[in-house]
Amino acid sequence: MMAKVKHPKKRNYRQRAHSNPLSDHSFDYPVSPGTMDWTKLYPEFAASHNEVKFCDVGCGYGGLLVTLSPLFPDKYMVGFEIRVKVSDYVNDRFLALRQDNEVYNNAGVIRTNAMKYLPNFFKKGQLEKIFILYPDPHFKRCKHKWRIVSEGLLAEYAHVLQVGGLVYTVSDVKEVHDWMVHHFSTFPLFERCEPDPEDKAAQVLIGSTEEGKKVLRNKGESWTAIFRRIDDPHAS
């Protein structure tokens, strides 16, 4: 009889809800996308000859990745999380899930700062989907520069996302939702689009994350928006 797989408990990985993304944390990151060794994250990566195609920016406790992994078994996906204990939890969560089901071999997590190192991991046009779900609101005006959506960061999202690729955003704070919609809608390389009824990712945005489940339990409201990467209108 096989021993029962022991799954990690979130209570053993608790950490502050917010982290200053502009402070000098210590991270390991590749010098360039070509030097990134993805085989450390995915057991079958070397044999697949594929690339990572989905990125969950600020993945929290990994709920979205756990949901997406079996929905897109042929896509490698990664979550970026800045908090040490939270990223440790997600890593342990996938290690346990893989013992139950090999389908989770396509998902993993990296502790890093997406605001600083996104282009170090992905080459131009590599990603098909980027998820920014329930980002830290950073309500104070002096901390708006900490927000994961800004004009400077939009240029980096546009760089790593392929033309036709999608960015999915969700927030339970209307002001933050409006902030993200404004920045993406006014950036020349993105356009807002309606969700495709056949898009499995769009169907699980709210109920898959721990934060989204909490909003649903409290009968709160979430606002979603999807943006498509378009060609540079000024390119010759």
Give per-residue pLDDT as tens, 105-142: 999 999 999 999 999 999 999 999 999 999 987 656 76
**Residue 8 pLDDT > 90, yes or no?**
no
Mean pLDDT of the chain: 88
User: Are 76 and 50 spatial neighbours (Cβ–Cβ below 8 Å)?
Assistant: yes
**pLDDT tier for residue 35 given thresholds of 50, 70 and 90:** very high
CA distances from 186 to 150, 154, 176, 181, 231 (A): 11, 10, 15, 8, 14
Q: For residue 229, what are the CA distances in angstroms to 91, 102, 151, 165, 224? A: 30, 32, 15, 5, 17
Kindly list the catalytic residues: 136
Q: How confident is the model at residue 1 (pLDDT cuts 50, 70, 90)?
A: very low
Partnered with residue 78 across adjacent β-strands are 55, 108
CA distances 45 to 53, 74, 84, 100, 104, Å, are: 13, 11, 24, 19, 12
Strands (E), 62-209: 76-81, 107-111, 127-133, 161-171, 190-193
**Residues shown for the chain:** 236
pLDDT reported for residue 157: 96
Which of 215, 113, 141, 203 has its CA nearest to residue 173?
Answer: 215
Q: Is the pLDDT of residue 97 over 80?
A: yes
Confidence (pTM)? 0.89
Cα 146 to Cα 135, 141, 187, distances in angstroms:
10, 10, 19
- Average of pLDDT values for 92-99? 92
Quote the CA–CA distance of 114 and 126 in Å, as a whole number.
15
Mean of the pLDDT values across residues 17-40? 75
The rounded Cα 64 to chain-centroid distance in angstroms is: 8
Q: Using 50, 70 and 90 to split pLDDT, how confident is the model at 47? A: confident
Question: Which pLDDT score, from 0 to 100, does residue 22 have?
Answer: 44
Per-residue pLDDT averaged across 3-13, rounded? 63
Better pLDDT: 93 or 6: 93
Residue with the bigger pLDDT between 202 and 16: it is: 202
* Portion of the chain with pLDDT greater than 90, in percent: 68
pLDDT at 60: 92
Strands (DSSP E) along the chain, which ranges? 52-57, 76-81, 107-111, 127-133, 161-171, 190-193, 223-229
